[in-house]
Amino acid sequence: MSRIGVAFDKARADGRAVLVGCMPAGFPTVEGSIAAMTAMVSAGVDVIEVEIPYSDPVMDGPVIQRASDIALAGGVRTRDTLRVVEAVAATGAPVVTMTYWNPVERYGVDAFARDLASAGGTGLVTPDLIPEEAGEWLAASDAYGLDRTFLVSPSSTDARLAMTVGHCRGFVYATAIMGVTGARAQTSDAAPTLVSRVREVTDLPVGVGLGVGTGAQAGTVAGYADGVIVGSALIRCLLDAPDEASGLAALRALSAELAEGVRTPTR
Amino acid sequence: MSADALAAEIGPLPDPAGHFGRFGGRFVPEALVAALDELDAAHRTAMADEAFRAEFAALLRDYAGTPSLLYAAERFSARVGARVLLKREDLNHTGAHKVRNVLGQALLTRRMGKRRVIAETGAGQHGVATATAAALFDLDCVVYMGQVDTERQALNVARMRMLGATVVPVANGSRTLKDAMNEAMRDWVANVDDTHYLIGTAAGPHPFPALVRDFVRGIGDEARQQCLDLTGALPDAVTACVGGGSNALGIFHAFVGDPDVRLYGFEAGGDGVETGRHAASITGGSAGVLHGTRTYVLQDDDGQTCESHSISAGLDYPGVGPEHAWLHDSGRATYLPVTDDEAMAAFELLCRTEGIIPAIESAHALAGTLQVAPRLAAELGREPTIVVNLSGRGDKDVHTAGDYFGILDKEQ
């Protein structure tokens, strides 16, 4: 079982959900992103999702777009993101990488899988890759023992849901709302239904993302899902801060609030 | 391998999953797959439905004003050294070939029971065409347009608003067509239940490249017959400009099976491909994934999309439709870059010899034709006949061209 699977099993035994925190590599700088992710781990985030910044992130809302633009303007390269993965994995927290497909294709799918595995990454979340187009990645992830997280959506048919989940390993990513990333005042009503549809076809843990920004929302999602995935709200702690120290302080505080939230599931 | 041999080997294009050889396909969020499947099914049943085809044909004839003329441009021909036949898509309603695609997709939108269309636009031509069709079909319409483009195409922004559309200037990234397309995709992911994304070119995820080709292929079907009627023979070459590439595919498609007809696509060379400031995705790019499809893309070593540059807003895009990528790889069509300066020289030449102001996009096709005509004449040992797709009119470009030529009176 992968390190992600172990984290989910442990949380399940404790009667709580896993907290997954997402941050783009290289934002605000490569070193700054390592510091931010390390701070998140120490404040209670269980799994770090390192996003590779991309010029055309069509699934992402304004916050992640801005953070990605800052990272790219700072000159972050794909190989830097692997260095971030390695540094954060050294904390002992499982590290999964989220990436749009073109940077991986450009790096070389097999080479990327090899280097991700050797950096200590557990696998990939692929927001614009569906299993039908994933032949090379299926082979490379098998070859290097990496997890594959494809997305499922409220609009997925039962047949597609079963097919997509059948190609997943590690955990399944359920997109709670029809829309792009970004914290929202309310999380979705569609998410519990989607999670129960996924549970009908797999024993894999299910993480829910898109829209979570507070401890209370994390508790609500923890009431029906195995993992709570938070990105934009954490990133905003750094974007909105006047300096690095206060940004990290805000990031630790929100991480702790979310960690408390996933330990008090609302059912 | 010839295109025919390749086609025989891999079957009709695209395959059922939308692949043109190694290009095309679907690289999209799962949230969009259901809508793409719905669109694919609607497209297939519509094209097999006699009533749909008849309604589309009637709209093209009675509303858009097609078939467009095939005009023997004699004074321009004399300067080219070839018999140039202009396919006058600039005379269509809304001033470009784009009206064909939007009417087809608007009919599909209605057939799917959707009430809202969104579109991206570069030059504004597709936005105006979409706003036009939305008015005609009583659909809500939102058009995403890069902020750089809203500034250089202000008149088209006003046109869209007059037609009842909401124009959203996009201030992200390079603030041009690529970023408008990202923003339209984000809108679609959030509103896919009641919204159709009316993509303006033969790019994007399957089924868009095939669907758009079906709606614009009338350009070539008409031109092929008109050329036979006018000259008694097929042309020696067919030329078009290529941004995303819908006008080029529209005119190429009817001729792909005619091995003696050469197909030339002219990409926007901007300041010159060697300067890095261009929009020539095939000539100066490499295979990658952008906006839902695998095709030639302007990208750096890490797969980040590079900004494109062209005097023509409609060609200023760092990708190209996947069928063009395949036509290039198969050798069936030839793609060459044309610089801003070469395009503007041809723009001026057509104005002065024929009294026709072309779109700057179409001026790239004219400039490329000027370049290949002597080679073609030498190869054939006679004056070649070349059909040029004059894909749009230049009214929208008067400000840009006026600036370029320095013929605008200074503002008070």
In-domain check, residue B7: no
Report residue A145 as tokens: 């023992």
CATH number at residue B227: 3.40.50.1100
**Alpha-carbon distance values, B138 to B111, B126, B128 (Å):** 13, 17, 15
Catalytic residue status for B38: no
The interface predicted TM-score of the complex, written ipTM, equals: 0.94
Where does A91-191 show beta strands of DSSP type E? 95-98, 123-125, 147-149, 151-152, 172-175
Q: Of B212, B240, B262, which residue constitutes the final position of a domain?
A: B212
Taking the C-alpha atoms of residue B245 and residue B199, their distance in angstroms, rounded to an integer, is 12
Say yes or no for a CB contact (<8 Å) between A65 and B29: no
- The reply to whether B147 and B244 lie within a common domain is no
For the beta sheet containing A18-24, the strands, ordered from the edge strand earlier in sequence to the opposite edge, are: A147-149, A123-125, A95-98, A47-51, A18-24, A227-230, A206-209, A172-175, A151-152
- The reply to whether B241 and B369 lie within a common domain is yes
- The reply to whether B305 and B371 lie within a common domain is yes
Cβ pairs bridging A and B (under 8 Å): 111
Q: Of B179, B212, B245, which residue constitutes the final position of a domain?
A: B212
In-domain check, residue B8: no
Say yes or no for a CB contact (<8 Å) between A56 and B182: yes
- The reply to whether B31 and B153 lie within a common domain is yes
Which CATH number is correct for A3-150+213-262, 3.20.20.70, 3.65.10.10, 3.40.630.30, 3.30.1540.20? 3.20.20.70
Q: Does A241 touch chain B (CB under 8 A)?
A: no
- The reply to whether B35 and B72 lie within a common domain is no
Which among A80, A133, A177, A188 is the top mutation candidate for probing chain B, defined by the most B β-carbons within 10 Å of its own β-carbon?
Answer: A133
Report residue B275 as tokens: 């300067």
Residues in B closer than 8 angstroms to A103, CB to CB, are: 302-304
Q: Where are the domains of chain A?
A: 3-150+213-262
In-domain check, residue B185: yes
Predicted pLDDT of residue B8? 54
The shortest CB-CB distance from A133 to any of B26, B35, B290 is to B26
Predicted pLDDT of residue B329? 96
Shortest Cα distance, chain B CAs vs residue A13, angstroms: 31
Q: Answer whether B18's CB lies under 8 Å from B26's CB.
A: yes
Query: In total, how many domains does chain B have?
Result: 2
Nearest chain A residue to B184 by CA: give it: A58
Predicted pLDDT of residue B314? 87
The shortest CB-CB distance from A106 to any of B27, B30, B299 is to B299
- The reply to whether B56 and B142 lie within a common domain is yes
- The reply to whether B337 and B229 lie within a common domain is yes
Residue B93 is classified by DSSP as: G
Shortest Cα distance, chain A CAs vs residue B50, angstroms: 30
Report residue A224 as tokens: 């029906």
Report residue B32 as tokens: 């969009």
Strands A227-230 and A206-209: parallel
Say yes or no for a CB contact (<8 Å) between A106 and B190: no
Nearest chain B residue to A59 by CA: give it: B186
Report residue A180 as tokens: 């792009």
Q: Of B148, B177, B212, which residue constitutes the final position of a domain?
A: B212
Q: What is the dihedral of CA A189, A195, A197, A203, to 10 degrees?
A: -170
Catalytic residue status for B396: no
- Alpha carbon of residue B94 to chain centroid: 15
- The reply to whether B83 and B166 lie within a common domain is no
Q: Answer whether B200's CB lies under 8 Å from B392's CB.
A: no
**Alpha-carbon distance values, B117 to B137, B162, B165, B251 (Å):** 11, 17, 10, 26
The residues of A carrying an active-site annotation are 49, 60
Predicted pLDDT of residue B1? 45
Predicted pLDDT of residue A3? 84
- The reply to whether B138 and B268 lie within a common domain is no
Report residue B309 as tokens: 């540059």
Which mean pLDDT values do the consecutive 10-residue runs of chain B (412 residues) have?
52 89 96 94 96 98 98 98 98 96 98 96 90 98 93 89 97 84 90 93 96 97 98 98 96 96 98 97 98 97 95 92 97 98 98 98 98 98 98 92 92 50
In-domain check, residue B397: yes
Selection from A62, A129, A188 nearest residue B186 by Cα: A62
Q: Answer whether A258's CB lies under 8 Å from A251's CB.
A: no
Taking the C-alpha atoms of residue B188 and residue B178, their distance in angstroms, rounded to an integer, is 15
- The reply to whether B359 and B389 lie within a common domain is yes
Catalytic residue among B68, B77, B120, B330: B120
Taking the C-alpha atoms of residue B386 and residue B240, their distance in angstroms, rounded to an integer, is 11
The shortest CB-CB distance from B34 to any of A57, A59, A157 is to A157
Say yes or no for a CB contact (<8 Å) between A55 and B288: no
Q: Answer whether B70's CB lies under 8 Å from B86's CB.
A: yes
Q: Does A130 touch chain B (CB under 8 A)?
A: yes
Nearest chain A residue to B25 by CA: give it: A133
**Alpha-carbon distance values, A44 to A37, A64, A254, B82, B259 (Å):** 11, 22, 10, 74, 66
Taking the C-alpha atoms of residue B362 and residue B339, their distance in angstroms, rounded to an integer, is 13
Give the model confidence (pLDDT) of A12-70 as tens digits. 999 999 999 999 999 999 999 999 999 999 999 999 999 999 999 988 888 999 999 99
Listed in sequence order, the DSSP H helices in B154-270 are 154-162, 177-191, 208-216, 218-231, 246-252
In-domain check, residue B11: no
Residues in A closer than 8 angstroms to B33, CB to CB, are: 130, 153, 155-156, 160
Predicted pLDDT of residue A75? 97
Q: Does B186 touch chain A (CB under 8 A)?
A: yes
Report residue B282 as tokens: 């095939």
- The reply to whether B142 and B222 lie within a common domain is no
Structural domain including B245 reads 65-95+217-405
- The reply to whether B145 and B222 lie within a common domain is no
Stretches in chain A below the pLDDT threshold 70 = 1, 178, 183-188
